Amino acid sequence: MENSKPAILFENIEKSYGSIKVLKGITGIVIKGEVVAVIGASGCGKSTLLRCFNRLESIDSGHLVVNDIDLSPPTFNNRQLRHLRVQVGMVFQQFNLFPHLSVLENLTLAPRKVLGKSAKESNQLAGFYLEKVGLFDKASAYPEQLSGGQKQRVAIARSLCMNPQLILFDEPTSSLDPELVGEVLQVMQQLAAEGMTMVVVTHEMQFAREVAHRVLFLDQGVVVEQGCAKEVLSNPESDRLRSFLSRFH
């Protein structure tokens, strides 16, 4: 890991929606260059935690620092938000590609508008990352012409075009047909091997075991277990995690 410096540091963070407390004092760390898998049953707070990491949701209390940016204060201006979003990529479950733009246009929009890159620079960047995810030949295609797996790989390439310091993945394979899951996980595995800092909310236990350095198991808004992915997933200490993992065997 890169000097064991924290990419994300969160201490006792809480988040409620009305009277429903979703995160109940969660504490943890993500080291630069590390892949952390966040697992747990639906509704346990995984996606909410992830969305707090790029300020799609603000925390109610606690301490949260992402890439040396303090996200704890309730007020956060647009300049700070822009700075954060440039550094922190996000890949969603539903791809979120612009349907009226070609693949190339989807990838070059943010580098031009946000980073101020020229059309030539943006096109070169897009071409490089499309090659990386195996879709260089789809540059002129539109999202409706792609499979789900191809759309998700385009979404990953789009995130990489911003040269992020870390990428958040919110169940990136859950809406894909089973035969398309592998092509997306392969790209993510490649990124992990290259040292990209990644936080992945996932139900892919084999991916978590083989690719993640550490795993966080959430249950009802609290961290029940965390630690080395292979150890935690092979020898869970809590009955709750054992019960959860039994669904995947």
pLDDT at 79: 85
**What amino acid is encoded at 24 in this protein?**
K
**What amino acid is encoded at 174 in this protein?**
S
pLDDT above 60 for 3: no
Over residues 122-155, the pLDDT tens digits come to 999 999 999 999 999 999 999 999 999 999 999 9
pLDDT above 80 for 249: no
Say yes or no: domain 6-95+166-246 is CATH 1.10.1240.10: no
- Whether the full predicted model's pTM is greater than 0.85, yes or no, is yes
SS3 138: helix
Q: What is the mean pLDDT of the chain?
A: 93
10 Å CB burial of residue 133 (0-12, 13-18, 19+) is buried
CA-closest candidate to residue 5, choices 30, 22, 23, 28: 30
pLDDT at 1: 56
pLDDT at 184: 93
